[in-house]
Structure formats: structure tokens, C-alpha cells
Amino acid sequence: MRTHSNRLAPALALLAFALAVPVAGDIVRAADYPSRSIHLIVPYAAGGAADSIARVIAKRASKALGQTIVVENRGGGGSIIGTEFVNKAEPDGYTLLLGQSGPISINPAVYKSLPYDPVKDFAPISLTTTYPYLMVVSPALGVKTVREFVALAKSKPGALNYGTTGVGAANHLVTELFDFRSGIKMTHIPYRGTALAVADLLAGQVQVVFSDPISALPHVNSGALIALAVTSKERSPVAPLVPTMSESGYGGFDAVGWHGILAPGRTPPEIVARLNAEIVEALKDPETKVLLESQAMQIVGSSPEAFADFIKQDIAIWKEVADQARIEVR
């Protein structure tokens, strides 16, 4: 007499086989990886800092991987379009994302809803570069330290203007964090890029900009602008003479921009490990280091696990700032 378990045995065996096939397929794909060109998606237009960094890393990593890494720009929608494209891509290691603080850490804080989850939908590979924001002012403002700036702002509530790259942008949140920590209130003037904000700072239309280093340092070095502080926890190699916010009297201020490589979620761990090893090695290449440092970037190179932890912490920082300042992008 056949038992109930006897009747189920063939079905269970078939199910086990069906479940095992995709796993075996992943192992085969990982062993052969990469067998064709890889696309690195930059969620910004060509010509910017993110694009330059992607091309520098791709050039060196391509040699190590034995396959071309094609940099593809998919800008627009506050960097959401390109980021979502990678989220929907096949998790096979052939479509990667140049992640940045904007789409990964800040967008979740300022957008009511996003078509991707920055933690669940991506597999971090390596944090590649970081950079602080420089708090820069015109010499005409008559201040040389952060404390002097705060005293001036408190004497004229709302009278000082600050420029940013737009509502909900990284330097918008950085400035709001500074306002909150220092107890001042300024007026926000959004622009369509850091260069435009810095141009108006030079012209006296705004009184302060928290700028990325590459946009501000040439003007600081020429004496046209004064750098009051950097927003990183420690002094930055790209501006070693500029004090930190903590040194300026505002402790616990640690806000940096960053770039890193991510893959779609569910990418096989073996592929993530291979990419991590080659990208970290590429960042050690002397020529690569020179090119990235010329962009005023601090080179990192991290494990996937350390990068994942960094992203979670960064999201928490900007969520708190956006909530305090009531910043929301619709």
C-alpha cells in the first residue's frame, strides 16, 4: 500500500531540482565572470565630477577584469532615473551603479517615495572616494572664522543668503545642518549647479556656499574666497590648512559627500567579491590615485560590508537633518 509520503516523494524531488538549478546557474556564471563588457551607470550627465571619477576607475578596473567597463550616463529626475535603471537590471554583475550620497543617502530623506530602496535593492561593492564640503565666503563679508560668521548671522536674522545646487541637494542639507547646530537662520537661494552658486557668491549675491572642493578650491587658492571650515570629522587632505567644524566650535559635525560602486541586489556574492577585489586594487594604482586626487577626492577602497554599514549610517544622518529642517521634494 502506498503512503501519502510515497506519493509526495516525486513531487518533492522535482521541486528540489527546480530550486537547485538557479543556484547552480549562479555558480557557473560567477566562475565565468566577466565574459563580456560591463556597464557602469552614472546617474548624472556627462562632464561632471561623478562622470570623471567613474571613467578613471573604469579604465584601471577594465584592465584587471579583462573586459571593458563602459561608462553610461543616465541623468535626470534628481539622479533617480539612472539609479532605478540599475535596480531593475539583471543581477549578474554586468550592470553597475556609480552610487553617490545624493541618490543613495539623501533622496530617501527628502522624497516621500522612491522607486527603489537604497539598502534592500543594491549590493554594495566598495566605497571609492569621499570629500568634505567647504564653507566658503567672500572676503568682502569681513569674517575669517566660523564663529565670526555665526555672530554676523545672529545680528541679522534671515538677512544672509546661502546658495545651493537645489532644494533637497546635499549642500542644502549640509547648510541646514549648520544652521541647526549654530542656531542661526539664513535664506536659501537654490541654483542649477555649484558653479552658478559660487559665481553668485563671488558677485556678492549670496554670502555663503557649502561647496564641493573642486568648485571652490581654485577661488580659495587665488584669494577670491575664504574657506572657513570643512564639514568632515577630520581635516581633509585636499584642504589641510582649513579647520574642521569641530575645531571651529561645533562638535560632532561630520558630513561628507561620497562615491561608490554598487550592483543590483541579489548579485551573487562571488561576483561582488571579485569586483570588490579589482576595484580596491585599481584605487591603489599610482596613476589612478593622481587622477582622483586631482579631482580633490580622498581615496577610500572598502569591503562590501563596511560600505553597507557606511550607507546605513549616512542615511540616518540625512534623515534626521531633513526631518528637523522639514525638507521635502515632491
Listed by start position, the domains of the chain span 33-131+256-325, 134-230
CATH topology for 134-230 is D-Maltodextrin-Binding Protein; domain 2 (3.40.190)
The mean pLDDT value for 42-52 works out to 88
- List, for residues 186-243, the tens digit of each pLDDT value: 999 999 888 899 999 999 999 999 999 999 999 999 999 999 999 999 999 989 999 9
* CA–CA gap between residue 324 and residue 26 (Å, rounded): 45
| Domains 33-131+256-325 and 134-230 belong to one CATH topology | yes
Phi and psi based region of residue 270 (left: phi greater than 0; alpha: psi -120 to 50; beta: remaining): alpha
Mean of per-residue pLDDT scores for the chain:
91
Answer yes or no: is pLDDT of 23 > 60. no
Distance of CA 320 to the CA centre of its chain: 17
Closest among 134, 49, 161, 144 to 98, alpha carbons compared: 49
Percent helix, strand, coil in the chain, to 5, is 50, 20, 35
**pLDDT band, residue 18 (cuts 50/70/90):** low
Strand residues in the chain grouped as ranges (E) = 38-42, 69-73, 95-100, 122-132, 134-137, 161-164, 187-190, 208-211, 226-230, 256-264, 298-299
Q: What pTM did the predictor assign?
A: 0.85
Residue 1 is predicted with a pLDDT of 42
- List, for residues 89-129, the tens digit of each pLDDT value: 999 999 999 999 999 999 999 998 999 999 999 999 999 99
The domain 33-131+256-325 is placed in CATH, from the list 2.60.90.10, 1.10.645.10, 3.40.190.10, 3.40.190.150, at: 3.40.190.150
The mean pLDDT value for 302-329 works out to 94
